[in-house]
Amino acid sequence: MRTARRRTPAPKTLAARLAAGLAALIGLVVVGALGPGAAVAQSPAGRAAGDRPAGTQATGLHIGEGRLLEGNGNDFVMRGVNHAHTWYPGETQSLADIKALGANSVRVVLSDGHRWSENGPADVAAIIEQCKANRLICVLEVHDTTGYGEDAAAGTLDHAADYWIGLKDVLAGQEDYVVVNIGNEPWGNTDPAGWTEPTVAAVEKLRAAGLRHTLMVDAPNWGQDWQGVMRADAQAVHDADPTGNLIFSIHMYSVFDTAQEITDYLNAFVAAKLPIVIGEFGGPADQYGDPDEDTMMAAAEQLGLGYLAWSWSGNTDPVLDLALDFDPGRLSDWGERIFHGVNGIAETSKEATVYGGGTPGGACSVGYRVVGEWPGGFQGEITVRNTGSAALGPWTLAFAFPDGQTVTNMWGGTATQNAGAVSVAPASYTATIPPGGTVVLGFTAHKGGTNTAPTAFSLNGAACAAT
């Protein structure tokens, strides 16, 4: 991320470029010393990524043979963007807008309270429900760690791990939908070798606390790993996770300005069967260089790797805003490239099968209408239809209000609401929906000046067609 909200990845000075070039040259000549593939051969205790110890079982999103898989074993390739929720908590429509443009995942910026205001359990629970209502796989990340060791304001991975442990009850049961990105860019350019030990310790701490989600770890050097520390130590970090469910994240900005740098880095992880995603990347040129986003996207598509572009909107320098002023109708050139360009999201994204795999409404449809309105309030009606051949029940309906509407009363079900995200459990007389049958939920709610209808609904986590 390049924004005045935090230090940018430090530019490659001439000395840095020479050092990076020398490291790359050594990596090509002595790949056994630097590449993760070599670590596989050299570590007798090492295991291939995705091999789990006897007795363990995959839960939800997990790693197998170096790939990110869903709970049913289906390959999942992220195609999405980053969204700066912690700085713009009121932009609740953003996830629906991101989904409408074709994304299958979103990386959500959170704070553990070290540097910015903490995103508490209720807020995080609401974000997860909004992701699910919009059929997005949700990558949650703590941003406070950015540039630790070089930026005095940055927090530690240990503090971030404690934050995730504090959210354990919120995260429990969300393994199909959530990836936990422990800390954003958790080491600067000062002694990047110091990244490995706290990364291993954070992974071990989270697993000891019982978190079963796929974990994501970012690279040092402000996420760009131009000195090759994550590349060299990836196998050791992976082996520290007793579940094997850990994926690496490389951030690609101006350090990655040639096709050779990009393909060499990604191929090293693929060859070693170590899972990797491009967790942030930019395309517009800056004073440090001109990232080769075309190769990043082409290589990701060729290798079947995920990517998450930076960022939806709200950057201090709008050059990296995909949408101007959070308006999906005003995509920047960067936004057009990401969503509609070659190897872009619209062309390559496939929805997670947990949401129906791109076929919404396989077993349900939902109709929503406003029955009446008055100043500050309205009455609504939701009709849920079972379009499948088997009875549905018990069921949970999820959706998100885009304008902050708040349910005050409901009949036919019981509503629970966190921010805009609403979860509805059935009443006893609506608990089972027979094949071809419907249930009707009525409710009253508060509203502000606008009353935009929700656009995405899910039943028991599976997407429903909107009618």
Handedness of CA 38, 41, 45, 46 (dihedral sign): positive
Is residue 280 annotated as a catalytic residue, yes or no?
Answer: yes
Residue 34 C-beta-side C-alpha neighbours within 13 Å: 19
Spatial separation of the C-alpha atoms in residues 286 and 296, rounded to whole Å: 17
Residue 218 C-beta-side C-alpha neighbours within 13 Å: 33
Spatial separation of the C-alpha atoms in residues 148 and 185, rounded to whole Å: 8
Catalytic residue among 175, 280, 293, 351: 280
* Helix or strand (DSSP H, E) at 28: helix 14-29
Question: Where does 286-411 have alpha helices with state H?
Answer: 293-303, 333-340, 345-348
**Look-up of token digits 């249930």:** 439
Secondary structure tally for the chain: helices H, strands E: 13, 19
Is residue 65 annotated as a catalytic residue, yes or no?
Answer: no
* Token pair listed for 12: 């490659």
8 A C-beta contact, residue 270 and residue 65: no
Spatial separation of the C-alpha atoms in residues 197 and 206, rounded to whole Å: 14
Handedness of CA 314, 318, 320, 323 (dihedral sign): positive
Spatial separation of the C-alpha atoms in residues 27 and 98, rounded to whole Å: 38
Spatial separation of the C-alpha atoms in residues 463 and 135, rounded to whole Å: 7
8 A C-beta contact, residue 69 and residue 296: no
Enumerate residues 6+ apart whose C-beta is below 8 A from 125.
170, 418, 421
8 A C-beta contact, residue 167 and residue 206: no
Handedness of CA 268, 274, 277, 279 (dihedral sign): negative
Largest Cα–Cα distance of the chain, in whole Å?
73
**Look-up of token digits 């239809």:** 385
Catalytic residue among 70, 129, 150, 185: 185
Spatial separation of the C-alpha atoms in residues 319 and 242, rounded to whole Å: 41
458 — phi, psi (to 5°)? -135, 150
Nearest to 243 by CA among 108, 50, 379: 50
Catalytic residue numbers? Answer: 185, 280
